Amino acid sequence: MPSHQNTGRGSGPRPLDGITVVSLEHAVAAPFCTRQLADLGARVIKVERPGAGDFARGYDQRVLGQSSHFTWINRSKESLALDLKQPLALQALMQLLGEADVLVQNLAPGAAARMGLSFEALRVQFPRLIVCDISGYGADGPYRDKKAYDLLIQSEAGFLSITGTPETPSKAGISVADIAAGMYAYTNILSALLLRGRTGEGSHIDVSMLEALGEWMGYPMYYAHDGAPPPPRTGASHASIYPYGPFVAGDGGTVMLGLQNEREWQAFCDKVLERPELARDARFDSNAQRNRNRDALQAEILLIFGALTAGQVVQRLDAAGIANAHVNDMAGLWAHPQLEARQRWRTVNTPAGDVQALLPPGLNSAFDYRMDAVPAVGEHTARILASLGLSGEQIDAVMNHGKVAD
């Protein structure tokens, strides 16, 4: 596991220094969005339920007894534990919004509006506030009130229909619908901040998981345009380019390779397969033909690879300039030499101790990313409430979910 820490490339101000984000968030989509904002310097105040907090804290105990999901997407935040059914707690939240730039929420459909936290209600008091609602299906339409989890959206968006083997549709191994929605929320918030800088007014952002993943499904949708057959499920192989995918060598090792054009196909036949005549075979002389006759071509490739080790196949591919990759597991990613060489690891504190974390993608010469601690539930509640001017008695009442004594 990596142990060193990148010292950063820049020491200047971060792009979102001075921006305050309040987030009524749980699970993945909204926390993933707000962590990106925190990475860029924003102060992110995560409002959690007193006691258990964000239910994603309980998904598993894989990181020093803490949840893997939660550790990943909640660093650099402050945790404010509020029971928003209590009037004093809701009053404190409204006071906090008066100092905030952005409100993000992914509560159950309609829950924020019932507490008076809709954009329409808030814009009267806070005209500069940007409100971002993240939901499964959006703020209107016949699916508005349906519950939405990542796997359900993968299904609704057609993702399962093109992922897996011919026999078995498969979900993605990560929460792609949540991540897609979180990223579109993040970029929309950045755009809204730029717009507010020009107009002086906040705006409403309505991000749907279905629409976010639907955008990512653009290629297969167009592939099936006007009733055409959709891309087939081809496991780890490409659905429309061949050869492009995993191939087993004689020692049992798997090599991932990809061809993109006819020049590479010629080099593959000449230098990797050492069968130059295959490049001129009518069954294989264009990508459309190779894709149509992939079973026959696969047999030719596996026959030759079967006499080689995976290392020898990679050597031939590299010599021919053919793209290839290791089929890594998680241990391989933790130990990836490229991430090590580029010093992509930082140490982040959690309530249970230090863990390693990848820097956000993208190096910027002007600033270093914020990589602060993962908070405990309610860790910052007393300090935040005190900063709002609440008395000690009021703070005790909020933190104990009771009423102020007469």
Catalytic residue numbers? 238
| Residue 399 to residue 88: CA distance in whole angstroms | 10
Cis? peptide before 351, omega within 30° of 0: no
String of DSSP letters for 320-334: HT-EEE----HHHHH
3-state secondary structure of 356: strand
CB 47 within 8 Å of CB 80? yes
Query: For residue 255, what are its two tokens?
Result: 């090599």
Q: How far is CA 328 from the centre of its chain?
A: 20
Helix (H, G, I), strand (E, B) or coil at 284: coil
What is the three-class DSSP state of 365? coil
Torsion angle in degrees (nearest 10) through CA of 215, 217, 221, 224: 170
- The token pair that represents 140 in the structure block: 């209107």
Residue 403, SS3 per DSSP: coil
Residue 79 CA from chain centroid, whole number: 21
Helix H or strand E encompassing 103:
strand 102-105
